[in-house]
Amino acid sequence: MQPTPSIENYVRKYVDLNDEELAHFASAFKEVKVKKRQFLIQPNFVARHRYFVLKGAVRAYVVAEDDQDNTIQLAIEEWWISDYNSYMFQQPASMFVMAVEDSTLLQISFEDEQRLKASNYKYETFFRMIAERAAAFMQRRVITSLTMSAEQRYDLLIEKYPEMANRFPQYVIASYLGMTTEFLSRIRKQKLRSKG
């Protein structure tokens, strides 16, 4: 597995910061450790932070009327996670965000993020870029859900994010892909059969 990522290396992929800026940027984040099954965000509470995963695996999900959970986001090392509707607009959350493994995260509060962005142009650019990437990512997900069958969506996940399939239990992957655990199980069985 890769070495533990750092927020400094990450932010440098997007904007060119000098050492002082890097240190300033990083100082807005606080490291938090969470145990498996611990909640970071719960419905009806305002999401006060967004999280950058240093180590571990986290998922965000909503619980529908029929008690099924639907996974909205998955995050492993170097991914961000939060209830963005709640975080960005500081409104009550609709999601649970929960650690799936013992995890180490960097959290930034909404207020500190605002301060960062106000203090330096480049930070604003950085957050603009990750928001654009998030929008593009979500749009690709809309496209796959509109155009592909359950099996195709699973194949695509395996192809593009093979790591994810190993780090999260099957029922989480299934609910992320918009199908039932049982159906994903059948899809996988059929693949085993045809591949050997």
- In single-letter form, the type of residue at position 186 comes to R
**3-state SS class at 3:** coil
Beta-bridge partner residues of 61: 71, 96
- In single-letter form, the type of residue at position 114 comes to Q
- Under the binding rule (CB under 8 A), the answer on residue 102 touching a copy of itself is no
- Under the binding rule (CB under 7 A), the answer on residue 151 touching DNA is yes
Q: Is the dihedral of CA 174, 42, 112, 23 positive or negative?
A: negative
Sole binder of a copy of itself in the list 46, 88, 157, 158 (CB under 8 A): 88
Per-residue contact flags (x/-) with a copy of itself for residues 167 to 196, judged by CB under 8 A: --------x--x------------------
Give, for 122, the enclosing helix (H) or strand (E).
helix 121-147
- Under the binding rule (CB under 7 A), the answer on residue 163 touching DNA is no
Binding part of the chain for DNA, among 6-14, 86-94, 113-121, 166-174 by CB under 7 A, reads 166-174
Sole binder of a copy of itself in the list 138, 160, 189, 191 (CB under 8 A): 138
Sole binder of DNA in the list 128, 183, 191, 195 (CB under 7 A): 183
Round to whole Å and give the CA distance between 74 and 58. Answer: 6
- Under the binding rule (CB under 8 A), the answer on residue 109 touching a copy of itself is no
- The residues, any chain, with a CB within 8 Å of residue 49's CB and separated by 6 or more, are 40, 82, 87, 107, 108, 109, 110
CB count in 10 Å sphere of residue 13: 9
What residue ranges bind DNA (CB under 7 A)? 66, 68, 149-151, 169-171, 178-186, 188-189
Please give the residue ranges that form the binding site for a copy of itself (CB under 8 A): 62, 64, 68, 70-72, 84-85, 88-89, 94, 117, 121, 124-125, 127-128, 131-132, 134-136, 138-143, 145-147, 175, 178
